[in-house]
């Protein structure tokens, strides 16, 4: 157990980055989306939960308790999904739970980025984690808005829950990278404002991150 905790602590950002990337994009390897959502997704969330342990080591008990509570929910939500099928209320609630889980992790990553006075590999990998966490948060927020009003986002695949999620990940990635293909579009004022907000947040994150890295590099050079 101590060895596992040591690994989770020493490789926390490497594990978190890998867990985030595979959670967002591993569906590219599966044609059977029902198998993906009911089998692969729960294992993804367990791995993501383990990968986030190191980030919360030494933190306050209340923060760890909230993280663990949300983690239990996000692990068991796919099981309930099989029972609830496409219940809109369930999908909205689950989207908010996932978003809360990733917001807490994102907050801890940002704290770490601001803390060191120098640049090292952990800092660069944590910066990548922050970017993928923004995509996670954006995808689940858009998913919440979509299930609240399916007409609020155009050209979303509604044939199944996993297909909808894949479209949300794709759309969130497009927003964060500001590519703007235009194949998926916000149609209501709420989703237009949400899209605008996350687009600005993505650019702001990049600008702030560059400033942080330049500042730490300058400080390291002076020392």
Per-residue pLDDT tens digits for 134-188: 999 999 999 999 999 999 999 999 988 889 999 999 999 999 988 878 899 999 9
Cα–chain center distance at 116? 23
Classify residue 161 as exposed, middle or buried by CB count within 10 Å of its CB (0-12, 13-18, 19+). Answer: buried
CB atoms within 10 A of CB 90: 17
pTM as predicted: 0.89
The pLDDT of residue 75 is 72
Give the pLDDT confidence of 44-72 residue by residue, as tens digits: 888 888 888 888 877 777 777 887 787 78
Alpha helices in the chain (DSSP H): 2-10, 12-25, 33-35, 41-51, 61-84, 88-114, 121-148, 161-177, 189-222
Residue 79 has pLDDT above 80, yes or no: no
| Whole-angstrom Cα Rg for the chain | 18
Least Cα distance to 13 among 112, 126, 102 occurs for: 126
Q: Do the beta carbons of residue 134 and residue 202 sit within 8 Å?
A: yes
Give the pLDDT confidence of 105-147 residue by residue, as tens digits: 999 999 888 886 777 888 889 999 999 999 999 999 999 999 9
């Amino acid at each position: 157990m101590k060895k596992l905790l040591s690994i989770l602590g020493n490789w926390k950002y490497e594990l978190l980055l890998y867990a985030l990337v595979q959670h967002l994009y591993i569906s590219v390897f599966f044609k059977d989306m029902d198998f993906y959502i009911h089998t692969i997704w729960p294992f993804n969330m367990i791995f993501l939960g383990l990968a986030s342990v190191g980030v919360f080591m030494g933190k306050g008990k209340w923060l760890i308790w909230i993280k663990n509570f949300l983690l239990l929910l996000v692990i068991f939500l796919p099981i309930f999904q099989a029972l609830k099928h496409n219940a809109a209320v369930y999908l909205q609630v689950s989207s908010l739970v996932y978003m809360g889980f990733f917001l807490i992790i994102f907050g801890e990553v940002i704290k770490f980025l601001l803390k060191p006075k120098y640049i090292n590999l952990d800092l660069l990998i944590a910066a990548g984690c922050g970017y993928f966490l923004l995509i996670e948060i954006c995808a689940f927020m858009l998913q919440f808005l979509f299930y609240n009003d399916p007409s609020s986002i155009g050209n979303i695949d509604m044939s199944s829950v996993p297909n909808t999620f894949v479209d949300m990940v794709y759309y969130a990635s497009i927003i964060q990278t500001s590519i703007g293909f235009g194949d998926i579009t916000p149609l209501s004022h709420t989703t237009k404002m949400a899209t605008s907000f996350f687009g600005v947040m993505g650019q702001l994150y990049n600008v702030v991150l560059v400033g942080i890295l330049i500042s730490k590099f300058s400080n390291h050079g002076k020392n």
